[in-house]
Amino acid sequence: MASSQKLRIYIQEVSVRDGFQIEPVFVPTEQKIALINALGRTGLAKIEVTSFTSPKAIPALADAEAVMHRIDRVPGVQYAALVPNLRGCERALACGVDEINVVVSASESHNLANLRMTPEQSLVQISGIVKQTAGKAFLNASLSTAFGCPFEGDIPQSRVMEMVGRFVGMGIHGVSLCDTTGMANPRQVYEVCRAVKERWPALTLTAHFHNTRGMGLANALAASQAGIDRFDASLGGLGGCPFAPGASGNVCTEDMVHMFNAMGYDTGVDLGGLIELSKTLPGLVGHDVPGQVVKAGPSTRRYPVPDRQQAAASNSTCG
């Protein structure tokens, strides 16, 4: 792994948007702001703060303006927001966001379930957002179900290439390839990411994985080997898709940072700080979180050696 030691990996936090949006409890505005401020001090490259959607549609993020206006802007950290339409884009730009994120699915069925329109209709709407955003913020398009759809099954790689080509042709600056329901496998991820990277080498590419079937970190590693250096992740593994049956949370931020750090990659992120923040999540959302490193500690952690009497009293063995 000698070549990986100089590779920079950019970790982009989505828990306060992608995670909180499906929680049944409303996380108070002040607690959201405090968490975002603390996350910004850990060395993360970007934080997706909120979504400027209808409060009736996503009541958990009804405080979008209040949060965006009152957070501390840590130098070097990009603050992004998801927007569903032109009105949402206007609201986000009025708050001075660094990045606008729009979403469209590779599959028609998921796009209809998620956005109540076809992908083609979404692209027409996005073209208006491109014009509205020009010169005011970085514009990123998230391609949902890029690696599989719960309704339609496999998504051909040609479809992914077609959609990314449409984004590039519209003047969009960055694209996120999203495994919305955790259907991807490492070989597929490597092949798709490598194809997109080779076709559009100057495009800012992000990989966004869910851990629904336990392959999130393996997929992230495969994407990095294909040349992807930007990854979305969610503190504690919060998240999921309300319009995708069985879609559990995003890949856990502290677990991802732990993996890349242990392999010698440079994430620039304070793992200890992330772990301490992850410990606060159950108190915010009212339930345990699926992250592993917060429970076991990093692999560099060393426990006291048990004395012989303690060892003799144990009847179990470890592999």
**Which two structure tokens, joined as six digits, stand for 211?**
């851990």
Question: What does the chain look like in DSSP terms, one character per residue?
Answer: -GGGGG-B-EEEE-IIIIIGGG-SSPPPHHHHHHHHHHHHTTT-SEEEEEE-S-TTT-GGGTTHHHHHHHS---TT-EEEEE-SSHHHHHHHHHTT-SEEEEEEESSHHHHHHHHSS-HHHHHHHHHHHHHHHTTTSEEEEEEETTT-BTTTB---HHHHHHHHHHHHHHT--EEEEEETTS---HHHHHHHHHHHHHH-TTSEEEEEEB-TTS-HHHHHHHHHHTT--EEEEBGGG----TTSTT--PBPBHHHHHHHHHHTT-B----HHHHHHHHTTHHHHHSS----SHHHH--TT--PPPPPHHHHHH------
Contact 177, 207 (CB under 8 A): yes
Contact 223, 189 (CB under 8 A): yes
149 catalytic residue (yes or no): no
The one catalytic residue among 149, 178, 193, 241:
241
135, amino acid identity: G
Alpha-carbon distances, residue 249 vs 91, 284, 305 (angstroms)? 27, 16, 35
DSSP bridge partners of 12: 46, 232
**Which two structure tokens, joined as six digits, stand for 313?**
């009293």
Q: Which residues are tagged catalytic?
A: 241
